[in-house]
Amino acid sequence: MERISFKEASGVYNALRVGQNYVDQCGLDYKLMKLVRLRVSQINSCAYCLDMHYKEAIHAGETPLRIISVSAWRETSYYTPQERAALAFAETLTHMPAEENSDSIHDELKKHFTQEEIANLTMVIIQINSWNRLVRSFGPEPGLYKVPAAAATV
């Protein structure tokens, strides 16, 4: 049940789009960003975003096994060390435990990403958390998302 349409809140949508446009062009691996978006959307229970990012990940060639397992990434051997570092970082920034120091997470990130890439990854996580909250508030119907024909693939 849609509570607020994006048309009625075009200013809010456009403000988030500016950040999203930056993230989309930041140069991080597309599939990595999809995994991060899926994991954060799982944590935030955002069905609409899960539908969107699942479909886009499949469109980009991601495997169903890696998509379905992303919530249990620690239990698997098929995520790269870079993906593992990004997923751990995404979970930490999404949960934001007050008592947790993120130095060790940054130490791991620095093994796989430049400082600029870490900053961009931070923005990816901020952005999907914002979209999750907006979508959960507005209430668009999950399951209806269609991947645009011109969607980036890799």
Amino acid at 134: L
What pLDDT sits at residue 96?
84
Is 154 in contact with 30 (CB distance < 8 Å)? Answer: yes
Q: Please report, for the chain, the start and end positions of each structural domain, with discontinuous segments joined by +.
A: 10-138
What pLDDT sits at residue 152?
56
DSSP per-residue letters across 23-84 = HHTS---HHHHHHHHHHHHHHTT-HHHHHHHHHHHHHTT--HHHHHTGGGGGG-S-S-HHHH
* Those residues with Cβ within 8 angstroms of residue 29's Cβ, 6 or more apart along the chain or in another chain: none
- Is the overall model pTM greater than 0.85, yes or no? yes
What pLDDT sits at residue 154?
46
The rounded distance, in Å, linking the Cα atoms of 45 and 96 is: 16
For the chain (length 154 residues), average pLDDT per consecutive 10? 75 91 96 97 96 95 96 96 97 85 87 97 97 89 86 54
**Region 10-138: CATH code:** 1.20.1290.10
Instruction: Kindly tell me the burial class for residue 130, based on how many C-beta atoms sit within 10 Å of its own C-beta (0-12, 13-18, 19 or more).
Output: middle
What pLDDT sits at residue 71?
96
